[in-house]
């Protein structure tokens, strides 16, 4: 397949991450005063990470139509990780 095809797919994922269109998950990363809310797509997280695949198979309750996860990671580090998942 051509490189342009792969670039288009990567650009689509990047756009999905940046616009947050159709997100179904809210992740709160950080502690106490340093918490940041991320809006992401569970499908992307599950396909890119074994950690998230198992996290979403454990009966996570939806609240107001969204999966809610609280993670004890630095918001800056977590954002780098998300960009890796979406821009791979």
- Supply the CATH number for residue 42's domain: 3.30.710.10
Model's pTM, two decimal places? 0.81
- List of the chain residues with pLDDT < 50: none
Q: Please tell me whether residue 2 adopts helix, strand or coil conformation.
A: coil
Give CA–CA dist 74/56, Å, rounded.
Answer: 21
| Tokens (6 digits) for 84 | 């890796």
Containing domain of residue 25, as a range? 3-87
Beta bridge partners of 35: 30
Beta bridge partners of 44: none
Per-residue pLDDT tens digits for 39-50? 999 999 998 899
Q: How many domains does the chain have?
A: 1
């Amino acid at each position: 397949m051509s490189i342009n095809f792969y670039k288009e797919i990567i650009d689509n994922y990047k756009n999905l991450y940046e616009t947050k269109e159709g997100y179904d998950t809210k992740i709160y990363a950080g502690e106490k005063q340093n918490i940041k809310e991320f809006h992401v797509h569970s499908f992307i997280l599950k396909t890119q990470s074994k950690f998230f695949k198992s996290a979403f198979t454990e009966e996570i309750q939806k609240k107001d139509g969204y999966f809610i996860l609280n993670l004890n990671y630095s918001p800056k580090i977590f954002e780098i990780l998300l960009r890796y998942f979406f821009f791979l």
